[in-house]
Chains A and B, each alone.
Chain A
Amino acid sequence: MLNAKDISVSYGPKQVLHGLSLTAEPGTLTAIVGPNGSGKTTLMRALTGDVDFSGRITLGDTDIATAKPYDLAAQRAVLPQATPLAFPFQAVEVVRLGLRGGIETNDRLALTALSRVGLDGYANRFYQELSGGEQQRVQLARVLCQVWRPVVSGVPRWLFLDEPVSSLDIGHQLTVMQIARDFARAGGGVVAVMHDLNLSAMFAHQIVLMQSGRIIGHGTPAEVLTDAQVSRAYGCDIRTSTAPQDGGWFMLPQSADNMEPMPAAQSA
């Protein structure tokens, strides 16, 4: 279980996170959502041990503030927002870097992982020559290689994804979210910072809604993504609703007060 207690982070004199607490269970996908500047990314960086924080964060039995890098690396992998590379690495070479971070030794896994993110035949392509979305998926393959098996000898492993779908088209957004959900279904834990509320509502088991460095909602999508809470967090009028087919939760930005409502949206 991921357990963060009373986390505060300051950048210089400016406090960015104000004593927030959250938990996430293995086997679930947690989406951290909130407007720009609400502290999502800072919370993610605290959870992955990249910023100094006060409070206590544990992953299973491991205190992440004091753990050795290689102990943490065996338990969790982190996907950054974007990763520019200055050297002419090929896609498969980037993915293999992930293999070395984790506990897997089978080299062929790099190719399997590339295929998993829809990049069959990209192994020998130069990373620098790929599009932003392709680079993002190569990085996802690297991260998957690091924690290939979601559970190892009874211990769940974790994926931390910082805006994993931000530069992807809608088809690949769905692929990536499905990979994340499959990882959770197989017993691993997933925590993702998300911009897209609809994808979050579709795939997440748990939503953490943030505003101004505080958590203002924490629960299932239906509990957290209410008209009032979402409108308050994002500072504009948002209507939430359920899709006719399977009752999934979705948000309509068309209802924001400064936009002309579209006829289709009104009838929904």
Chain B
Amino acid sequence: MMASDTAALPFVDRRTTARRAHLWLGLLLVLVSLASLAVGASGTSLWGALLKLAQGEALTLTERVVLWDIRAPRLVMGICVGGALAVSGAVMQGLFRNPLADPGILGVTTGASLGAISIIVLGAALPAVVQTTLGAGLLPVAAFLGAWWSMLLLYRVSTRAGRTSIATMLLAGIALSALFAAFSGVLIFLADDMQLRELTFWSLGSLAGASWVKLSIAAPVILVSVALACTLGRGLNGLALGEAAAHHMGIPVERTKTIAILAVSAATGTAVAISGGIGFIGIVVPHLLRLATGPDHRGLLVNAGLLGASLLLVADMIARVAVAPAELPIGILTALLGSPVFLWILLRKRGLVDM
């Protein structure tokens, strides 16, 4: 009886699609990475260098510097930041049960920025012990704390008795963004000329500042927090039904929420610390993937990481090539791409805001 029913209407299992997508998106990331190494203002050829290596010849100094010290760290940073932002977006959307949640829109990025700006401006006033022990990690740590506090505040304000009011969440995000931006404004006002230069470069949002030194701190943090986030699939699936229902299905709700908030804060905070404000990756990528492979978070989180990394690398290539030898701030590109998608979701699903 069952067999005939299912035969009458062929049953599609989207989990298979999601699993296949792991493979295709992985392949895409490899191709985009190679392209990213090959493209650049200097005209150094990746293929030429690879050919030389294959024939056992030595690379010229230019080739080594361009490929290994400029393009390679930039590639790794693009992968880390793109993956971190996309996974953070997917986790936040799961946590808030809404496809419009995003670290950029809800003030988490602004919180991280405030943390980073405080260090750039006020860092010198910190006790010497703190400065020497944390060293180059100071900026990421401050950005993480900023992101973490804004996540906690946001969750407290918008979630009452296990239910998240979406209108409250979006409005709270706007208010928090404005508040953090105001604090940042005060700090920028206090900054001296040197600090202003540093702030401006940083806040443009770019992968241009990539270096192995920065990555040695940022990459492990991002990898760990993204890996942690990817274990939340089952918990976030349960939370999609609401906190009470998730609890009834045996999901440790409080633990899932705590891990989600920590992972998003660490990933977003670190990404912001090394690349400034790059928006909308976190909203575009999970949304596209949900359309293609369904909302099951177990496949979605990994796929989001892969696609987010590829997307940011593509955006970075465009940013490098479009107005070469100058470089577009990548944040502009992602916003150009992302804001229409955000509006599109809003228009197609007006009901979401009333929930």
On chain B, the residues within 8 Å of A87 by CB distance are: 93, 97, 99, 240, 290, 295
Residues of B within 8 A of A32 (CB): none
Q: Do residues A83 and B241 form an inter-chain contact, with CB atoms below 8 A?
A: yes
Given A72, A90, A121, which contacts B294 in the complex, CB threshold below 8 Å? Answer: A90
Q: Is A191 an interface residue (CB 8 A)?
A: no
Q: Does A74 contact B (CB under 8 A)?
A: yes
Of the candidates B11, B244, B352, the one whose C-beta lies within 8 Å of that of A92 is: B11
Q: How far apart are the CA atoms of A87 and B8 in the complex, in Å? A: 27
Contacts of B45 in A (CB 8 A): none
What size tier do the contact residues of chain B reach?
35 or more
Whole-angstrom distance between the alpha carbons of A88 and B99 in the complex? 10
Q: Is the CB of A100 within 8 A of B234?
A: yes
- Give Cα A69–Cα B248 distance, bound, in whole angstroms: 7
In this assembly, does A253 line the interface, its C-beta being within 8 Å of a C-beta of chain B?
no
- The answer to whether B2 touches A101 (Cβ under 8 A) is no
Q: How many residues of A contact B (CB 8 A)?
A: 40
CB nearest neighbor in B for A74:
B250
Q: Which residue of A lies closest to B97 (CB)?
A: A86
The answer to the question of B14 belonging to the interface, with a C-beta cut-off of 8 Å to chain A, is yes
Cβ contact within 8 Å between A69 and B250: yes
Q: Which of B1-32 contact A (CB under 8 A)?
A: 2, 5-6, 8-9, 11-12, 14
Tell me, rounded to whole Å, the shortest Cβ–Cβ distance linking B240 to chain A.
Answer: 6
Closest Cβ of chain A: how far from B237's Cβ, in Å? 6
Q: Does A168 have its Cβ within 8 Å of any Cβ on chain B?
A: no
- CB of A80 within 8 Å of the partner chain: yes
Within 8 A of B (CB), among A50-74: 50, 68-74
Q: Is A93 an interface residue (CB 8 A)?
A: yes
Contact between A72 and B237, CB atoms less than 8 A apart = no
**Closest chain A residue to B166 by CB distance?**
A86
Known: A50-B244, A87-B99. A121 touches B8 (CB 8 A): yes
Some 19 contacts from A to B, beta carbons below 8 A apart, are A48-B248, A69-B253, A71-B250, A72-B250, A78-B245, A83-B245, A84-B355, A86-B352, A87-B97, A87-B240, A89-B295, A90-B294, A101-B238, A101-B248, A101-B249, A101-B250, A111-B2, A123-B9, A146-B249
